[in-house]
Homo-oligomer: A and B are copies of this chain.
Amino acid sequence: MTVHHFQPTHYHTTIGSHEPMLRVQSGDTIVTTTVDARGQGSTGEQITPPGNPMTGPFYVEGAEPGDTLVVHLDKLTPNRPTGWTRKMVAPNVVDPEYVIQMPWPGKDESTLAIWQIDNAAGTATLIEPASTSLGNFALPLAPMVGCFGVAPARGEAISTATSAQHGGNMDYRGFVEGVTVYFPVLTAGALFHIGDGHALQGDGEIVGTGIEISFDVQVTLSVQKGKRINWPRGENADYIFTVGNARPLDQCVQHATTEMLRWLQSDYGLDPVGAHILMGQCVEYDLGNIFDPAFTMVCKVPKRVLR
């Protein structure tokens, strides 16, 4: 188990079969950094063009289509003193006839809100605009990864604006430190990409951003040979979960629920009828995002109801 300290020199705004930046063995750990959604790094300077630039890809030796890539999110730490959010709920998230009642205009840079990040205190504090009724509103930090995943099959290179079976821009606030995430390996080496850190985020990413910020990141990558999955999966201390990325939300639910039904039967010793009965009364769903081209819903089953 090697620890690689990797300093990215360029970035991608698609997740695809790009030239690997680093080759690692299954079980290795990578310590690296990510820029924010606009391509700005730890000193606030513009490092690369905007649009969720990815650190990576990382080639994991031995990973082949039909395997699963296991990603343990060891550490996710905002590495600069301020982050930013948009200030208005996205038009697609409100009733169509309400759109004209929103506080327009709102698209240029001057409309960004700025938040001060204090890792020691564990808080994000709104500092601009100073004029709202919120005043110096503070929220607890809950750092999470917005966009990560593996190269899709057959040479596709998918924009980091969106998500699919390979992962991508899922913007789910459950992807925090300590979580283990599983991706289907779709191409040799898996080609893992990561970026788009958020100091915290509400459900749905309904203003189109979390608190966007650059990160210090540590991840451990390993390969489960011959383990075939269809959609990203994950687990934390309390839950196993599956991730569906699509539009509309109904289809996200379909993907995630189907994947969970498969998982319960393949790995948790449940017969079909047992899996369905259990799901019916124990399932929980989280809304990842309802902003990106593909939305995200997460299907969760508590570990306490599984043996």
User: Which A156-178 residues have a C-beta within 8 angstroms of B?
Assistant: 156-159
8 pairs, CB–CB < 8 Å, chain A vs chain B = A88-B273, A94-B254, A94-B261, A95-B254, A95-B258, A126-B277, A158-B158, A248-B250
- Of A19-27, A72-80, A206-214, the one touching chain B: A206-214
CB distance from A116 to the nearest CB of B (A): 14
Contact B206 A257 (CB under 8 A): yes
Contact of A89 among B201, B211, B279 (CB under 8 A): B279
Contacts of A137 in B (CB 8 A): 277-278, 305
CB distance from A44 to the nearest CB of B (A): 21
Contact A91 B99 (CB under 8 A): yes
* Closest residue of B by beta carbon distance from A17: B157
CB distance from A300 to the nearest CB of B (A): 8
Contact of A204 among B12, B95, B283 (CB under 8 A): B283
A residues in contact (CB < 8 Å) with B: 12-14, 16, 51, 85-100, 102-104, 113, 124, 126, 129, 131-134, 137, 139, 152, 154-159, 200-207, 209-211, 246-251, 253-255, 257-258, 261, 269-274, 276-287, 290, 295, 297, 305
Given contacts A96-B96, A155-B13, A156-B14, contact A281 B91 (CB under 8 A): no
Q: Determine the main DSSP class of A at the interface with B.
A: mixed
Contacts of A86 in B (CB 8 A): 280
- Which of A13, A205, A277, A284 has its CB near the most chain B CB atoms (within 10 A)? A277
Contact B156 A155 (CB under 8 A): no
Contacts of A287 in B (CB 8 A): 253, 285, 287, 297
Complex CA distance for A96 and B133, rounded to whole angstroms: 27
Contact of A284 among B88, B91, B93, B202 (CB under 8 A): B202
CB distance from A284 to the nearest CB of B (A): 5
